Amino acid sequence: MKPDTHPDLALVPYLRGELSQAERESVALHLDGCARCRAELDAFAAVLERVASGIGDLPAPDWIAYRSELRRKLEGRGTRRHRLWLAGWASLAAAGVAAALVLAMRPSSRKAVPMEELAMEQQLGSNDLGLLENYPVVERLDLLENYDVIEHLDQLPPPEEPHDSQS
């Protein structure tokens, strides 16, 4: 360390014994020949002492109340998380049940079907996927009852022909 370079930033670490041996010896050597730095060192020591004594007697809270408040806050966060977690799983479960119902309602054995019927079935199949992708609709299980009717519209008895009085 040059004699004319004051080790300002190293003075507090020197006071607190944080420096390596080499740094400590270098600062000590400088202090031997520098009254300014010795005065700085003493002043810093006094300020540190003053701060330590001034803030050492801060009032402490009632730790029992502090801990119960902390516990309550933590449980509050946990409950909120738990609710979200449950809601997520409930939604997934409902989606699974809905998908299972849709699959179960589809006919398992198939006869040879004409091309027109096949095209219609594919259309219905894609509607199934669309329905599953649109989860909020699937979640409404009551809609599935309607879906059952819609899927088998072709099996519904034709409406009675109105009697034509002119024929």
* Residues at the site binding another protein, with contacts judged by CB under 8 A: 8-13, 16, 18, 43-44, 46-48, 50-52, 54-55, 57-61, 63, 66-67, 69-70, 73-74, 77
Q: How far is the CB of 53 from another protein (least distance, A)?
A: 9
Q: How far is the CB of 49 from another protein (least distance, A)?
A: 9
Task: Assess contact for 1 and 7: CB atoms under 8 A.
Answer: yes
Helix (H) or strand (E) run with residue 146 in it: helix 141-151
**Residue 152 DSSP code:** T
Which residue, 27 or 98, is less far from another protein as judged by CB?
A: 27
Q: How far is the CB of 119 from another protein (least distance, A)?
A: 55
Rounded distance between C-alpha atoms, residue 19 and residue 6, angstroms: 16
Sequence-ordered alpha helix ranges (H) in 106-134:
115-133
Rounded distance between C-alpha atoms, residue 49 and residue 59, angstroms: 19
Q: How far is the CB of 57 from another protein (least distance, A)?
A: 8
Which residue, 68 or 127, is less far from another protein as judged by CB?
A: 68
